[in-house]
Structure 1
Amino acid sequence: MLMLWTGALVLIICIAHWVYYWRNPRCNGKVPPGSMGFPLLGETLQFFTPNTTSDIPPFVKERMKSILLVLRFFLTCSLLLDCRYGPIFKTSLVALPVIVSADPNLNHFVFLQEGLLFQSWYPDMFTEIFGRQNVGWLHGFMYKYLKNMVLHLFGPENLKKMLPAVEETACRRLQRWSNQETVELKEATAGMIFDLTAKKLISYDQDNASQNLRENFVAFIQGLISFPLDIPGTAYHKCLEGRKNAMKMLKNLLNQRRAMPGKSRSDFFDYVLEELGKEGTILTEAIALDLMFVLLFASFETTSLALTLAVKFLSDDPSVLKKLRAEHDAVLRNRENADSGLTWKEYKSMTYTFQFINETVRLANIVPGIFRKALREIQFKGYTIPGGWAVMVCPPAVHLNPAKYQDPLTFNPSRWEGGEINGASKNFMAFGGGMRFCVGTDFTKVQMAVFLHCLVTKYRWEPIKGGNMLRTPGLQFPDGFHVRLMEKNRME
């Protein structure tokens, strides 16, 4: 009996010791303040708690601000403690220690030191979802090689050639939607962009395909940012199944191409096959398929969310719609032939449109966190970031910072007048930053600008239902955004 009690006591001491060091991790210096939450679980549940705010995510905001805790002392006294963590704090997500940064200077430092002090990194749950050979997890020469491959598709010269196809697709879809009683904008724009991108990437035509490729991506997206519980019926499990099925279809398409080597389609798949066939190539089939998967996903999901929110902002603010419409009407008036297609020069002249797009993505905050891993112990502002720890850069905290943006929750495209509207900065990282600045940024802006041009010059619309936003922590429209689309009269 004594040995049993002794063993139980030793176990309790070991558990207490483990819990203590879980909550108070060792390092050579001072780790940023914060809570590690419960052992293993950490603060994962709080991080994934849905919210409807357009402000800084509650998980981050509550840990940045001053909180007064009342501790009762001997049931008679109260002691007020300032438990402010500030813009840099520690936490634990999915059993991993994380430094969360809402500090523009630390964010800039992290991006600047990519490949030296930090490297791109995401939790294992994302690795399972996107694949272990994914471009986001590759580093050094291999990453640069894949980045150049993507630029072959989304570089300025190719985008100039793609402009007519983007305009034709947008006009055709808008015409189709105007013949419907209502259209759910998020789903409709996602389908439009996916079909366009899939055609350019792999010559995929849904109307003539035996399987629906996009259905697998929809299942994938619905569980993308969800609690990582891989049990049948959960969103995460459906996400993994969607990826598996999509990858199987891409693999089959690759095999079909190889079986017909002489038939060229002049798409990105042809370019990939050419690279795979080169002697001494560093490209593998697994990396190529993962790259295709990510390009298909990234090109339509984030852009359709941004477009849906853009139309919602236009619906809510007639003054902004008036200014945007005036710019695009001027494009038509200045043409010799009003019915000719958009030119690259006209696209580049859309100054207010680019301000509008920047303001839309600033408030959209589609990406709630950008992850990096510290390659060694790092000192910053008196804090120590232990080697091997993750750092989560928090774009919403930067984009909604009242010290940089006056009335940060107000939609105001004119705030970008006279400022830099391209690239990234300490205070704007909607498309990432540093050497991993999104290579598809220009493609996204082309699609948004062209769609808006076709919409505001040829149509008017009225919201019917939906439009409410939910963050889990990624942006969603749980009830969609349903609008009635009507062609404008020539005199309007």
Structure 2
Amino acid sequence: MWAIGLVVVALVVIYYTHMIFKWRSPKIEGVLPPGSMGWPLVGETLQFIIPGKSLDLHPFVKKRMQKYGPIFKTSLVGRPIIVSTDYEMNKYILQHEGTLVELWYLDSFAKFFALEGETRVNAIGTVHKYLRSITLNHFGVESLKSMLPKIEDMLHTNLAKWASQGPVDVKQVISVMVFNFTANKIFGYDAENSKEKLSENYTKILNSFISLPLNIPGTSFHKCMQDREKMLKLLKDTLMERLNDPSKRRGDFLDQAIDDMKTEKFLTVDFIPQQMFGILFASFESMSTTLTLTFKFLTENPRVVEELRAEHEAIVKKRENPNSGLTWDEYRSMTFTQMVVNETLRISNIPPGLFRKALKDFQVKGYTVPAGWTVMLVTPAIQLNPDTFKDPVTFNPWRWNDLDQVTISKNFMPFGGGTRQCAGAEYSKLVLSTFLHVLVTNYSFTKVKGGEVSRTPIISFGDGIHIKFTARN
């Protein structure tokens, strides 16, 4: 009996050893990049989510670059992935989107946004073009020119509110401000009179994109999916109200989507809420994180605040009426402000990278990318390259005086690249610049506590950054 048991145990050990070997050494035609696949299913996910205690490139990527070079293989949440920090490879892959690669999301992200089945396929082509078009229509330059006074009013209102409250956690209050304003522009969300505080739901789901997508009770992913369903129901209810009562129309993003249902077959009563959900999430997290980092940098660099204040006070002094609002020409004239914004975007690198999925086997830089594998283009590695940016994690807006346009175009991609560059880029930069204008011309501010940051691999702020605002005379 004991002999039979030992044989069974031996067979099990041999079987799983064989499976692990196959996982770590996949058979392909060609040469895979060096690297480790970790353990089956889990891969190297646990190492990927260990926080990095600085704004530098995440330790997961940095350690493997030092060990394997700029291109290596790994596995995250059960997916085989080739990671590239190489500019030439990243450019090549972005140039061949639709032929060699397609857009891909981590499984948990895909399930949040229902990017599966037919919708998932459509998102690669027709749907993406439509989403980019409608976003530019409502958040592109021409729309932003008329939206600028409303953005400025929104910032005045919120900064005055924060100044009356004592120290505030700026990540929290900025997140609420950005979400409420963007949601109002997309579907008329009225935060003050709504029973649902939607910005809180977005905060809850943020840290679950790289978790294993186990939608079972008790897991954080399950709770996030519940929060997602709650939000989608509210968005769908708003859509149905407008479909049933044209008097509720307000000429916004949602109304255009309703009008386009006549010609775009993929615009259904289930898809439109998904569309709004994704756009809200993108603007909510990116702008709130970037603005919060701006406060960290400004409180640590008073000389930057002095030069910002000088630039913006000069703008106000040139006006015939000093109480008039910010104009588009004034916004475009903010030379130093743009340097501050660029430097913050360069260091922040909010997404860990761009994800693409190989449509077929192809060779690049001497390696084979197998069909079905994911490619993670680590664009932060370019923006934190010490060969291009001296002391790359040091906040130094003046460095932009010495960078030529060719260097910038090759090494600065805060809004992605290729055909999928973020359609909300100008909206983000306008909000950031206008925020700085209202801030330095009307308020003084001091950090009370906090300021520690980490990458998990997205940026988190620990106990937050608490700022005390004081109105200036």
TM range (shorter): over 0.9
Q: Report percent identity of matched pairs.
A: 45
Moved more, 128-137 or 299-308: 128-137
SS in 1 for 2:246: coil
- Please tell me the residue identity of whatever aligns with 1:47: F
Counting only pairs closer than 5 Å after superposition, residues 111-130 of structure 1 correspond to structure 2 as 111-130=94-113
How far 1:8 moved relative to its partner? 5.6
Q: 7-16 or 341-350: which moved more?
A: 7-16
User: Distance in 1 between the 2:223 and 2:310 partners?
Assistant: 45
The 10-residue stretch of structure 1 (476-485 or 231-240) with the greater mean CA deviation from structure 2: 231-240
Number of the residue aligned with 1:478: 462
Secondary structure of the equivalent of 1:221?
A: helix
How big is the shift at 1:229? 4.5
Give the match's secondary structure for 1:465: strand
Aligned twin of 2:195: 210
Q: Deviations over 1:255-308 (max 9, x none)?
A: 1112212332121111111112x1564422222111100111111221011001
Give the alignment partner of residue 164 of structure 1, picking from 149, 174, 179: 149
Residues 223 and 237, structure 1, Cα contact 8 Å, conserved in 2: no
CA contact (8 A) 1:217 1:246 kept: no
User: Match for residue 443 of structure 2?
Assistant: 459
Give the SS at the match of 1:485.
strand
SS at match of 2:75: strand
What is the aligned-residue RMSD (CA, Å)?
2.2
Does the residue aligned with 2:368 lie in a helix, a strand or coil?
strand
2:283 paired with 1:299: yes
Q: Which residue of 1 aligns with 2:421?
A: 437
Q: Which residue of 1 aligns with 2:340?
A: 356
Task: Note the residue ranges of structure 2 that are not aligned, 5 or more in a row.
Answer: none
Could you say which residue in structure 2 is the equivalent of 1:77? none
Residue aligning to 1:370: 354
- After superposition, the Cα gap between the structure-2 partners of 1:429 and 1:48, relative to the gap in structure 1 and judged at 3 Å, is same
Select 2:181's aligned residue among 179, 196, 202: 196
Match of 2:206 among 195, 210, 221: 221
Aligned partner of 1:243 in structure 2 is 228
Distance change (3 Å), C-alpha of 1:331 and 1:257: same
In the alignment, is the contact (CA less than 8 A) between 1:120 and 1:136 conserved in 2?
no
Structure 1 segment 132-147 matched on structure 2, within 5 A: 132=115, 138-147=123-132
Partner of 2:49: 48
Q: Which residue of 2 aligns with 1:88?
A: 71
Do the aligned partners of 1:361 and 1:430 also contact (CA within 8 Å) in 2?
Answer: yes
CA displacement 1:351-408 (0-9 Å, x = unmatched): 2111111110111121112110111112112111111110111122221111111111
The 1:135/1:356 distance shift into structure 2, 3 A limit, reads farther
2:133 counterpart of 1:151: no
Distance 1:249 1:164 in 2: 29
Distance of aligned partners of 1:312 and 1:476 in 2 relative to their CA distance in 1, 3 Å threshold: same
Match of 2:28 in 1: 27
8 A Cα contact 1:198 1:204, kept in partner: yes
Shift of residue 421, structure 1, vs aligned partner: 7.6
How many residues of Structure 1 are paired with residues of Structure 2 in the alignment?
A: 470
Describe the superposition over 1:141-198 as per-residue Cα deviations: whole angstroms up to 9, x where unpaired: 2221221111111111111111000000001111111111111111111111111111
Distance 1:233 1:420, change over 3 A: farther
Q: How big is the shift at 1:101?
A: 0.8
Q: Is the 8 A contact 2:352 2:457 kept in 1?
A: yes
Which letter does structure 2 place at the counterpart of 1:153? H
Alignment of 1:366-445 (within 5 A): 366-417=350-401, 419=403, 425-445=409-429
Change in 2 beyond 3 A, CA 1:424/1:42: farther
Residue 468 of structure 1 pairs with residue 452 of structure 2: yes
Instruction: State the 1:473 CA deviation.
Output: 1.1
User: What is the aligned partner in structure 1 of residue 270 from structure 2?
Assistant: 286
Letter in 2 for 1:100: V
Query: What amino acid is aligned across from residue 326 of structure 1 in structure 2?
Result: A
Structure whose residues are more often helix by fraction: 2
Q: SS at the partner of 1:285? A: coil
Check conservation: 2:169, 2:464, Cα contact below 8 A: yes
TM-score where L is the length of structure 1 = 0.90
- Note the residue ranges of structure 1 that are not aligned, 5 or more in a row: 66-83
> Residues 424 and 416 (structure 1 numbering): CA distance in 2 closer, same or farther, change over 3 Å?
closer
Instruction: Say whether residues 1:103 and 2:86 are aligned partners.
Output: yes
Counterpart of 1:64 in structure 2 is 65
Distance apart, 1:211 and its partner CA: 2.4
- Is residue 131 from structure 1 mapped to residue 132 from structure 2 by the alignment? no
Q: For 1:458 and 1:280, how far apart are their aligned partners in 2?
A: 47
Counterpart in the other structure of 2:294: 310
Q: Distance in 2 between matches of 1:101 and 1:422?
A: 22
8 Å contact from structure 1 (residues 99, 390) kept in 2: yes
